[in-house]
């Protein structure tokens, strides 16, 4: 029953500790998760967008400004109108711009002659019937004065190029040609790739129609916001001049989208962040904390179990044993001897009982002190433990009285055992040292007969022991037959 109760106690404590550990870990996780999301929305994402914008200014906006400068350059306008036959001038001009600003290509198209020039010289005459030339004729039709597009150009090593095109007007605002620069998309792609790898952000640029003008090459399959239903639903909020942070779900995962309008490019910068990329560390910390808490709980539970087990063993020992000598107490002896009595009656084996009292023990306490008396009792217990059989049971009856149950022992053998103990006490050098004189005891012996109970045996052996006292002490008396 005690073991069952102990089990319930340990289980209850363990469940409470596990619940506490999980609760604390979960609360910390939720707080950290909320803090991470808040930081992402209010600091990390806006700050990263600003950093990206700075990079864009350096790598995209600057080339756009260069192209715009070329379109407004009076030298270039004058050359187109009055001096196109002198091709060396425009080649040197385009080459100077290319080298000065580190562009991949600089170009010029004359509306009058449909000639296409780069820093390397004249390339071709453009024709609306050529698919590769369609960009120019489409560009002339647009309402704006500039555009950015991506294109494979067979005349420029068949690389994917980002072209920044600007229209050229004369003083009367008549269209006279187009100029601009080209950047290898691999360069831009590396920049966008770095944003993704370093910041865990996906970057793209879209125009007013939702067309994705520029993105990392891995996202090339997405050509328009309409290709992503979740983004298409938010297009009215994305394509606005005001900067916003939008939240949405895609493929069962949560995303944040930061928008920023870039007037220099007339494009919208979109920076997408998957929340799981930023909360992964928080989740791993939660799992680690939870595992650590559970481990600590298991360890504490094990320690508690050991403590309870040890405490119970101590309580059980104290409940059944004398604290001074370590022998059985009266209650434990009665329980054990009663079991032996029933067993011997069933088997027909003899069972004897020895009851003895230390002679003149009160005098030892009075003259030498209670500590000396306690030491005598402890030594008597040690002698009993070393001189009795493992099958015998021995207990401290109370005070200076001791009792011994002898299994399979008839009266004659019981007397031999009692005499052995009497002499051991009297001749023990440690007892003599403790009291400065021999320590003796008076013994009573009784053997169980049919009809005996533990009470009748105790009565008879007690009378035998007192008779030994009356006859001079330090002797053995056998109980009279009843």
Per-domain residue ranges of the chain: 66-184, 330-478
CB-based burial label for 89 (10 Å; 0-12, 13-18, 19+):
middle
The domain 330-478 having CATH identifier 3.40.50.1700: the answer here is no
Distances in whole angstroms, Cα of residue 371 to Cα of each of 358, 360, 381, 382: 16, 16, 15, 17
Is 184 a residue whose pLDDT tops 80?
no
**Model confidence over 10-54: pLDDT tens digits?**
777 778 877 877 888 788 878 887 887 787 788 777 877 787 777
Is 428 a residue whose pLDDT tops 80?
yes
User: What does 425-462 look like in DSSP terms, one character per residue?
Assistant: HHH-HHHHHHHSS---EEEEEEE--TT--HHHHHHHHH
Instruction: Check residues 71 and 343 and name the one with the higher pLDDT.
Output: 71
**Model confidence over 387-419: pLDDT tens digits?**
998 889 999 998 999 999 999 899 999 999 999
Average pLDDT over residues 187-206: 80
Comparing C-alpha atoms, which of 103, 65, 60, 70 is closest to residue 169? 70
**Model confidence over 88-100: pLDDT tens digits?**
999 999 999 999 9
Taking the complete model, does pTM exceed 0.85, yes or no?
Answer: no
Q: Is 268 helix (H, G, I), strand (E, B) or coil?
A: strand
Distances in whole angstroms, Cα of residue 441 to Cα of each of 157, 326, 353: 119, 20, 16
Fold topology of 66-184:
Beta-Lactamase (3.30.450)
Comparing C-alpha atoms, which of 184, 257, 188, 256 is closest to residue 216? 188
Is 275 a residue whose pLDDT tops 90?
no
Confidence of residue 430 (pLDDT cuts 50, 70, 90): very high
**Model confidence over 81-137: pLDDT tens digits?**
999 999 999 999 999 999 998 888 999 999 999 999 999 999 999 999 998 899 999
How far apart (Å, rounded) are the C-alpha atoms in residues 388 and 229? 92
| Whole-number pLDDT of residue 450 | 82
Q: Is 107 helix (H, G, I), strand (E, B) or coil?
A: strand
């Amino acid at each position: 029953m005690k073991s069952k109760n102990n089990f319930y106690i340990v289980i209850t404590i363990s469940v409470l500790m596990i619940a506490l550990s999980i609760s604390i870990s979960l609360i910390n996780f939720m707080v950290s998760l909320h803090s991470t999301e808040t930081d992402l929305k209010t600091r990390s994402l806006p700050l990263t967008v600003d950093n990206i914008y700075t990079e864009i200014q350096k790598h995209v906006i600057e080339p756009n400004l260069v192209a715009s400068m070329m379109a407004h350059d009076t030298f270039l306008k004058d050359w187109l109108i009055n001096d196109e036959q002198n091709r060396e001038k425009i080649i040197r001009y385009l080459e100077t711009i290319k080298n000065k600003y580190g562009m991949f290509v600089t170009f010029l198209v004359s509306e009058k002659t449909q000639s296409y020039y780069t820093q390397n010289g004249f390339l071709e005459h453009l024709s609306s019937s050529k698919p590769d030339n369609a960009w120019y004729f489409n560009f002339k039709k647009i309402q704006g004065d500039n555009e950015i597009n991506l294109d494979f150009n067979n005349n420029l090593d068949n690389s994917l190029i980002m072209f920044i095109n600007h229209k050229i007007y004369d003083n009367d605002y008549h269209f006279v040609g187009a100029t601009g620069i080209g950047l290898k998309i691999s360069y831009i792609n590396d920049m966008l790739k770095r944003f993704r790898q370093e910041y865990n952000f996906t970057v793209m640029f879209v125009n007013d129609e939702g067309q994705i003008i520029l993105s990392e090459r891995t996202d090339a399959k997405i050509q328009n916001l309409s290709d992503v239903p979740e983004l298409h639903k938010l297009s009215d909020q994305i394509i606005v001049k005001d900067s916003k942070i939008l939240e949405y779900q895609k493929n069962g995962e949560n995303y944040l989208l930061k928008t920023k309008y870039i007037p220099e490019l007339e494009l919208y910068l979109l920076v997408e962040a998957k929340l799981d990329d930023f909360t992964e560390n928080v989740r791993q910390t939660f799992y680690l904390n939870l595992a650590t808490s559970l481990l600590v709980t298991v360890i504490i539970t094990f320690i508690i179990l050991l403590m309870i087990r040890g405490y119970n063993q101590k309580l059980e020992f104290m409940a059944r044993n004398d604290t001074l000598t370590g022998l059985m107490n009266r209650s434990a002896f009665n329980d054990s001897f009663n079991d032996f009595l029933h067993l011997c009656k069933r088997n027909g084996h003899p069972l004897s009982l020895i009851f003895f009292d230390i002679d003149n023990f009160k005098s030892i306490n009075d003259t030498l002190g209670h500590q000396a008396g306690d030491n005598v009792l402890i030594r008597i217990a040690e002698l009993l433990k070393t001189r009795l059989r493992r099958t015998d049971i021995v207990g401290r009856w109370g005070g200076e009285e001791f009792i011994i149950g002898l299994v399979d022992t008839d009266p004659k053998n019981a007397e031999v055992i009692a005499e052995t103990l009497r002499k051991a006490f009297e001749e023990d050098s440690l007892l003599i040292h403790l009291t400065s004189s021999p320590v003796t005891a008076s013994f009573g012996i009784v053997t169980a007969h049919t009809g005996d109970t533990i009470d009748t045996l105790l009565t008879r052996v007690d009378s035998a022991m007192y008779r030994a006292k009356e006859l001079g002490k330090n002797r053995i008396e056998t109980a009279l037959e009843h």
